Amino acid sequence: MTATASTTAPVKPYNRPNIVAVGTIIWLSSELMFFAALFAMYFTIRAVQGPKVWFDSTSMLNVKFAAINTTVLVLSSVTCQFGVFAAERLQVRRTGKALQFSKWGMREWFALTFLMGAFFIGGQIFEYSSLVSQGINLSSRAYGSVFYITTGFHGLHVTGGLVAFLILLLRVNKARKFGHAQATQAIVVSYYWHFVDIVWIALFSAIYLIK
């Protein structure tokens, strides 16, 4: 009796999507609905108040300062993505001199992103203090309420992103080896950071540019 060769094809491994990344995307979708409600509130109250009342309030905004602050936040998405690229090639720290940006690892890019995000929050606090000194606070008028609620909730989300960067950097420093699990965490944090940046671009356009 002759032995017959097996015709069964080898089974390819099934690569499931990372559950943390999928969960983050679903959660960000719910956050998108939350900010959509804030936009609806902003434009509804604006329509009720009328263009003249709204323009009198928006004329107190420092658009140039807010544009600089916005530019810093948008550029932080670029530095964050460079950190992701470093994480994907499993490079946790720089391999060259401090000013050799091409040699930077995830840690340096994310640290710079953190500093830029902190700069944005500091600029937002400075703007709040300036508006309060001009008589626009949370309870002074309808415009003050919607301005502080919309920008304030976004500021809380940016602060949450800064905390996420700190936790990630601490975990990476404590880890004996930087592997795919740590790289996935870095990618997930970048999803969140890109999200808050995109939301702020929309907020900046609605609040500062469309007067």
Is it the case that residue 17 has pLDDT exceeding 90? no
> What is the pLDDT, as a whole number, of residue 18?
63
DSSP states along 27-74: HHHHHHHHHHHHHHHHHHHHHHH-HHHHHHHHTTS-HHHHHHHHHHHH
Q: Looking at residues 132-139, what average pLDDT do you find? A: 83
Angle between helices 106-133 and 180-204 (to 10 degrees): 30
Average pLDDT, the chain: 84
If one compares 141 and 208, the residue with the highest pLDDT of the two is 208
Instruction: Name the pLDDT band for 2 (thresholds 50, 70, 90).
Output: very low
Element (H, E) at 132: helix 106-133
In this prediction, residue 20 has a pLDDT band, given cuts at 50, 70 and 90, of: low
Q: What is the pLDDT of residue 9?
A: 45
Model pTM score: 0.83
Please return the burial class of 179, using the count of CB atoms within 10 Å of its CB with bins 0-12, 13-18 and 19+: exposed
Does residue 124 surpass a pLDDT of 90? yes
